[in-house]
Amino acid sequence: MKTSAIKIDNELSPNGFSVVPFAENPRLQVVKLASETVKEFIEQVLPLGVQAIEYKPFLRFRIADILNKLTNDTLGASLLSIIKNRGTGAFMLQCEPIVANFDPLEFNILLSTAVSHLIGVPNLDAMYGKFYARFSVKNEDDSDSYLRQAHRRMELHNDGTYVKERTDWVIMQKIAEENMEGGDSLLLHLDEWQDLEKFYNHPLAKEDIQWTSPASKNVSYKIQHPVFFEEDENNQPKMLFIDQFSEPLNMPQGQYLYEMGTSLEAEKNTFNVRVPVGSMLVLNNHVWLHGRDKFLANKGLYRELLRQRGAYYENAKLVEN
Ligand SMILES: [Fe+2]
């Protein structure tokens, strides 16, 4: 198996934003919107407001177009080229600081919506009932999955493993944090997982596994697909795995999945990313695994994330009722 090379499309010259590789892993690109772009976006888009884009889906495309126009139509093409290129496949989008009076929550929701609609169409998030979800981590938790539990590491996984909707990409935007120590995002590129070949060449790599989820996810069905569910245009594997929601039906499946989880958690090529408030991580969900490091105990701990997950335009489908 060949490992993906890190290639950047030099034909695209950014206008109103910059792109530089992340210091600790140059696959991850840091995209920074210039302060002029941010100011103009606030001026043109904030008057519309979040309620309007929730009620009228076409406005989500409209604000994406406004953002793209502010960059001379270069931002959308750059983001798609980073996310679809297996060698990179991920970016952290940030804004240069500006002096202006605006509601940061409204701004963040509008900005991540503009970004999501430059790379595709978000799925309805069943947990939250909207095209995006907001969820928080506090010091104490009594929910039914590890999503909100602060004092343990959330294991590496792909999103969208237990839903029918295709999840080509995932956006995780930091909305707020207070008294937060630890809790970094954890990232691993599939081609940097040293045991990939062992698990991809395994007899169970292409066998259907059943996936199910707890009540809080609001997904009433179970689905079946292999962990290595398809290959890209260069015949390289894509992955859909999450340890909590696989439902092995026999001992070999149980052992295969157990060993996979153990190998992923022991992988030394996993790296930490601190995502500042207002920044968002955007991942090609089939070539990047993500997780979260544990937080240090603190009574006042509060962290809120906004997520959007969806499909590229060419994979977006009409929903069958
Ligand atoms: Fe996730």
- Ligand 1: distance of its center to the CA of 188 in Å? 13
Question: What does the pLDDT look like over 11-48, one tens digit per residue?
Answer: 678 999 999 999 999 999 999 999 999 999 999 999 99
Ligand 1 centroid to 213 CA: how many Å?
13
Strands 169-178 and 302-311: antiparallel
Helix (H, G, I), strand (E, B) or coil at 318: coil
Query: Distance, CA 101 to ligand 1 centroid (Å)?
Result: 33
Helix (H) or strand (E) holding 81: helix 75-84
Tell me, in angstroms, the distance from the centre of ligand 1 to residue 291's CA: 7
* φ, ψ for residue 118, nearest 5 deg: -85, -20
Ligand 1 mean position, distance from CA 289 (Å): 8
CA quadruple 223, 229, 230, 232: dihedral positive or negative? Answer: positive
User: Pairing state of beta strands 121-122 and 209-211?
Assistant: unpaired
pLDDT of 34:
97
pLDDT the model gives residue 7:
72
pLDDT score for 284: 98
Task: Give, in degrees to the nearest 5, the angle at Cα 136 between 162 and 294.
Answer: 80
Q: Which of 121, 82, 79 is nearest to 314 (CA)?
A: 121
pLDDT at 100: 86
Q: What is the pLDDT of residue 127?
A: 84
* CA 274–ligand 1 middle distance (angstroms): 16
Ligand 1 mean position, distance from CA 100 (Å): 33
- Output the CA 189–ligand 1 centroid distance in Å: 14
Ligand 1 mean position, distance from CA 273 (Å): 15
Model pLDDT, residue 2: 56
What's the CA-to-centroid distance between 203 and ligand 1, angstroms? 27
Confidence (pLDDT) at 213 = 83
Q: Is 246 helix (H, G, I), strand (E, B) or coil?
A: strand
What pLDDT, on a 0 to 100 scale, did the predictor assign at position 1? 57
Q: Under a CB-based contact definition with an 8 Å cutoff, are residues 199 and 205 in contact?
A: yes
- CA–CA dist 263, 248 (Å, integer): 18
Residue written as token pair 């979260």: 292
Cα of 290 from ligand 1 centre, angstroms? 6
Q: How many angstroms is it from 309 CA to the middle of ligand 1?
A: 10
What is the b/e burial string over 218-252, where b = at least 16 CB atoms within 10 angstroms of the residue's CB?
ebeeebebebbbeeeeeebbbbbbbbbbbeeeeee
CA 242 – ligand 1 centroid, Å: 9
- Least Cα distance to 158 among 90, 111, 215 occurs for 90
Q: Ligand 1 center to residue 297 CA distance, Å?
A: 22
| Ligand 1 center–CA 157 separation, angstroms | 6
pLDDT for 141: 72
In the reported structure, the alpha carbon of residue 171 is separated from the centroid of ligand 1 by a whole-number distance in angstroms of: 10
Q: How far is the CA of 161 from the centre of ligand 1 (A)?
A: 10
What does the pLDDT profile of the chain (321 residues) look like in tens digits? 556 777 766 667 899 999 999 999 999 999 999 999 999 999 999 999 999 999 999 999 999 999 999 999 999 999 999 999 999 999 999 999 998 889 999 999 999 999 999 999 999 888 889 999 998 888 777 777 776 677 888 999 999 999 999 999 999 999 999 988 888 999 999 999 999 999 999 999 999 999 998 777 778 889 999 999 999 999 999 999 999 999 999 999 999 999 999 999 999 999 999 999 999 999 999 999 999 998 888 888 888 999 999 999 999 987 665
C-alpha 172 to ligand 1 mean position (Å): 9
